[in-house]
Structure 1
Amino acid sequence: MTDSDRHTRSNATLLIVILIVGSVLLTSLVTPVAAHAYLSESDPANGEHVDPLPDELTLYFSGDGVVNADITLENPDGEVVSEESEIDPDDTQIVRVPIDDAAGDDGMYTVEWEVLADDGHTTAGSFFFAVGDEPLDRDAVLEAYEEDETDETIPAIEAGAKALLLVGVVGLLGIPAVAMLAVRPAFARADAAARSSVDERIGRLLAGAAGLTLVGAVVLGLTRSTALGPLSLETISQFVETPLGEAWIVQVTLAAVLAGLVTAAARGPLVKRAVHVVVFGGALAVAGTIAWTSHSATAIDQLEGAVVDFVHLLGAGLWAGGLVVLALVVVPVVRNAESDDRADLLARTIGRFSILAFVGVTLVVASGFVLASWHVPTADGLTGTIYGLTLVAKLVLAALALGLGGLSRFVLLPRLAADQGPETADGLRPASTDGGTERSSRDRSVSTVVRSIRLEVALLVVVVVLSGVLTSAPTAAVASGDDLVESTIEYEYDDHLVELSAFPATEETAGDALVLEADEPIVFKVAFLEDGGEAVASDQPVRLLASSDDGTEFEVELEETDDGTYAVVQPLADEGRWEFRITGAPDGSYVSEWIDAEVVPADEHDHDTHADADGGGHDDHAAGHDTHAKDHADHGGPEEATAFQTLLQFGAVVTVVGGVVAITLESLRLRGGRFDRE
């Protein structure tokens, strides 16, 4: 064993120990999260009646913190009565909006909000409240609910820029690592022309990866800055003053330095090993800036989330980035080598690379399980959201690539080693003596390995691109929330059909009862229908009488709408059983029907569900403000894991254990030099 081999194996062992420790740490980071910034509650609350109009509006966000907020409040006349939004410096999930002192008219007030989150994505929505006893407008309420639904649109330019950035960083991580620890030791005994060709190709590959990193970083930041306004020097200046913009400046600077370094290395006599060490370190720093502004980092503890994303990127670099070196550097050089040396060179390189690939796969899969447990809390999220479907596609392609890697390592590599024949005392392979049959067998084995490597690389490039799409989409933890549905109960009454509909509802019906959420402004709609389905007008006012098991009662008159139905907006304060009574006189025939309802607690993560159904004054609501703030703080804490999350977490543990065993065995094989002698 040469000193070079000993040094290489010593470095590989040290790297293995560090990465195994990192992978073990992943198993403890399993807190559920929701990325992007979404409105969780407000003061005044959605649908609340207040009197008088408060001095300021307060919005509480869950998930990520807020970098920039554009929030407007319109009075009943459509005039903007809000001042500039103020992000709380001590808690960026809280935004306060002063209200003009002169704005105090009774009626419905509408809040339109759009925020830029720490992860670089914008979210928007609206809600409403009323001043005085004025009823809420049905059309405005329905419009607000429609706008408040999660937007799963993926910005194409941002996703493309992020994909370029990730592909570049994965290359900058994997290329120098594999070059130092696998390729150069494997080619140490090759001729000078082969070694020179390896260096030249690695240099070009590094330059391409550095270029992709720089272009992706620049375009990504410019795209994100447009959340503050049209692209201009002023907008960019405002963006770089935000924490997200500061991280972007660091990212672009590092990418530019790396691009300059690899360019200089290609033109000058710089020490190759030193260049590779610096490039790898710089790539780690760029990966750190990506992880620091990721979904996971900004939605939960900054350090924990960043660590998991960083480990995921590092693993991808060692696996995918290393394979790029095999496909675009080793394979072309091997094809130009002497026929008798091809299998030997390829087997040596794959043997040394396999240990790095095992480390990379372990880190990618283990951290992937952790990330999935955070961002896809239920199995439904895999099929019911764009994020989940993209993740499934990524997992399928990664599994195929992993299968090809296993084929290369455990089937094709032993076949290559068997085709090499024994070494002579001087470490060289004997020439073929069978008239070319043995050479033909080796060439076929080499060709099979080459095809497998190239296909695996193609699959992993697509996987990395899909990762860019994932980081630009709202996670399934947010997007897979309950859909807003309309629940309808029908009764036949004499010659008419009586319908009572409620929107939003948590499900269509529970038997013969409506299922509604407490404290949520609900649009009740009553329709009297003839046999043909035509709406019939009532000769008397249509009323909705309601009473709960807790003794709460109210009676409201419904307003006739353009489509011949009757509607009113009314929240329900008490949880439990309710009874609704509908009265009217379609075609002069008196109707009185009783309908049951079940009112369930509002999901604490739904957008702004804390409405004051009693119609109490703002002073009463303000008295409970500290409680709301405490609830908001609790929303960011750990929740009880779902069964699906527990399964994913178990998968992370199994992956780490299996990976440690595989890496240890592979390390022992490398130490024993078996890849050189098989």
Structure 2
Amino acid sequence: MSIDGLWMGQVAMAALMNVAFAFAIGSALLGAWLAKDAKAKISPARPAWVRAQRSMLTAAVVLVLADLGWLLYQAASMSGVALPAAFGFVPTVLTQTHVGYGWSVAFAGALVLLGTAMTGHSGMLRNALLWLAVIAIAAGKASLGHAADAGPASAAVAMQTLHVLVTGVWGGLAITAGLAVLPALGASTARGILIRTATQVSNVSAVAVGFVLLSGIFNAVQGSGGSFQAIASSTWGHVLTLKLSLVALALVLGGLNRFLALPRLRRTASTMDAHTFVNVLYLEALAMIGVFVAAAALAHSAPALAALG
């Protein structure tokens, strides 16, 4: 692995893809939860619902653009040419490499996701297409990393697909709720909606965290061969340690909200407790963005066992 401009560009594009994908998932879930309360134009839930819709559209656009940028950097990296000359190698990468096939699946999913985000009305068909697109993106992204070394239909790819999905749910809810949606429910008239939505965020995140930890342990063992020495003495292991530290920080913040701030908010429904929950969620969102950046660097680093030969 050579840390140069191309590597940093790939990691930056991959991190942007991770964050945008999670933002889209979180926006879709929050938009669905708020849709019923937001039907009336004067509903206190409507500003938050509008933010969720706009966030999803913005995230889908950023995801499509980041996908294209990552492909160009990947073509330059694989062909050993400068970035401007990489355009000529993009068709070869798409048609003759497993990376191209995985990227095509993920990009097709991103385009469908963008189409559903641009649709003004919701319905069974639109929702089905949305979640099929999310699964396709996750499967495509899983095929871009080290999991694909075991084959496109391997257990490693399946587990990585699950990891991408559940991390997107957990991180997406934290980022979208903490940075965009829940602050729009700050009025006292929206307190009941805030409490109900915060409870949904907490419950779904708790389930997602369980799957994140299980799939993450599997991936860590796969990449290191179960060797702590490989983790301790490789760049991959150092990046993994950073990622795990950020995950631990996010878990602590999420636990504070779930077991302390949210129960108190349910009891008092006070403005101060509402602000406490949203502020802690904001910090969790920042930690999850760090997790996604570290995950991008991890995916573009040689696994510990490979690095050690």
Tell me if TM exceeds 0.5.
yes
1:360 maps onto 2:197 in alignment: no
Q: Which residue of 1 aligns with 2:9?
A: 157
The Cα offsets for residues 102-124 of structure 1, whole Å up to 9 and x where unpaired, read as xxxxxxxxxxxxxxxxxxxxxxx
Give the corresponding residue for 1:589: none
> What corresponds to 2:22 in structure 1?
170
Displacement of 1:406 in angstroms is: 1.0
The answer to whether the aligner puts 1:385 opposite 2:234 as a matched pair is yes
Residue of structure 1 equivalent to 2:68 = 218
TM-superposed deviation, 1:177:
2.7
Residue matched to 1:404: 253
Instruction: Flag the 1:191–1:273 CA change in 2: closer, same or farther, 3 A.
Output: farther
Maintained 8 Å contact 1:217/1:252: yes
Unaligned 5+ segments in structure 1 are 1-150, 421-441, 482-605, 607-678
Partner of 1:245: helix, strand, or coil? helix
Change (3 A) 1:216 1:224: same
User: 1:289-438 residue pairs with structure 2 within 5 A?
Assistant: 289-299=140-150, 302-335=153-186, 337=187, 339=188, 341-376=189-224, 377-420=226-269
Decide whether the 8 Å contact of 1:197 with 1:333 is kept in 2.
yes
Q: Do the aligned partners of residues 257 and 189 (structure 1) sit closer, same or farther apart at CA in structure 2, a change above 3 Å counting?
A: closer
Shift of residue 216 of structure 1? Answer: 1.8
Mapping 1:268-283, distance limit 5 Å: 269-271=120-122, 275-283=126-134
Which structure carries more strand by proportion? 1
Distance 1:317-1:290 versus aligned 2 partners, 3 A rule: same
Distance 2:170 2:60 in 1: 18
**Deviating more after overlay: 271-280 vs 362-371:** 271-280
CA shift, 1:240, in A, is 2.0
Name which of 277, 294, 297 aligns with 1:449: 277
User: Percent same amino acid at aligned positions?
Assistant: 24
Whether the aligned pair in 2 keeps the contact of 1:398 and 1:459 (CA below 8 Å) is: yes
Could you say which residue in structure 1 is the equivalent of 2:138? Answer: 287
Aligned residues: 301
Deviation (angstroms), 1:277: 4.2
SS at match of 1:270: coil
Counterpart of 2:298 in structure 1 is 470
Pairwise CA RMSD = 2.4
Residue equivalent to 2:107: 252
Which whole-Å CA distance do the structure 2 matches of 1:191 and 1:213 have between them? 30
Normalised by the length of structure 1, the TM-score is: 0.42
Question: Per-residue CA shift, 1:240-281, capped at 9, x if unaligned?
Answer: 22132233233333323332442x33xxx4226754443232
Q: TM-score, normalised by structure 2?
A: 0.88
Query: After the TM superposition, which parts of structure 1 deviate over 6 Å for at least 4 consecutive aligned residues?
Result: 188-191
SS of equivalent to 1:361: helix
Change (3 A) 1:370 1:152: farther
Shift of 1:445: 0.8
Give SS of 1:331's match: helix
Aligned to 2:44: 194
**Number of the residue aligned with 1:431:** none
2:142–2:160: 8 Å Cα contact kept in structure 1? Answer: yes
2:62 equivalent to 1:234: no
**What letter matches 2:234 in structure 1?**
T
Q: Quick one: distance in 1 between partners of 2:262 and 2:22?
A: 25
Q: Is the 8 A contact 2:230 2:304 kept in 1?
A: yes
Alignment of 1:624-639 (within 5 A): none
* Aligned equivalent of 1:459: 287
> For residues 188 and 199 of structure 1, what CA distance do their matches in structure 2 show?
6
Structure 2 gap segments, 5+ residues each:
none
Q: Contact 1:343–1:417 (CA<8 Å) still a contact in 2?
A: no
SS in structure 2 opposite 1:289? helix
Question: Does 1 or 2 have the higher relative contact order (CA < 8 Å, sep 6+)?
Answer: 2
C-alpha distance in structure 1 between counterparts of 2:276 and 2:46, whole Å = 26
The CA deviation at 1:159 is 0.9
Contact 2:67-2:107 within 8 A present in 1 as well: yes
Partner Cα separation in structure 1 for residue 292 and residue 227 of structure 2: 24
Is the contact made by 1:175 and 1:202 (CA closer than 8 Å) also made in structure 2? yes
How far apart, in 1, do the equivalents of 2:95 and 2:41 lie? 54
Q: 2: CA distance between counterparts of 1:418 and 1:171? A: 30
CA distance in 1, matches of 2:62, 2:176: 16
User: What amino acid does structure 2 have at the position aligned with 1:241?
Assistant: T
CA distance in 1, matches of 2:63, 2:181: 23
2:73 equivalent to 1:209: no
Distance 1:451 1:233 in 2: 44
Equivalent residues of 1:176, 1:277 under 8 A apart = no
Q: Provide, for residues 424-459 of structure 1, a one-character-per-residue CA deviation record: whole Å limited to 9, x for no partner.
A: xxxxxxxxxxxxxxxxxx111111111101000010
- Cα separation, partners in 2 of 1:450 and 1:199, compared to 1, 3 Å: closer
Separation in structure 2 between the aligned mates of residue 404 and residue 247 of structure 1, nearest angstrom: 34
Report the residue type matching 1:402 in the other structure.
Answer: L
Are the equivalent residues in 2 in contact too, given 1:291–1:310 (CA < 8 A)? yes
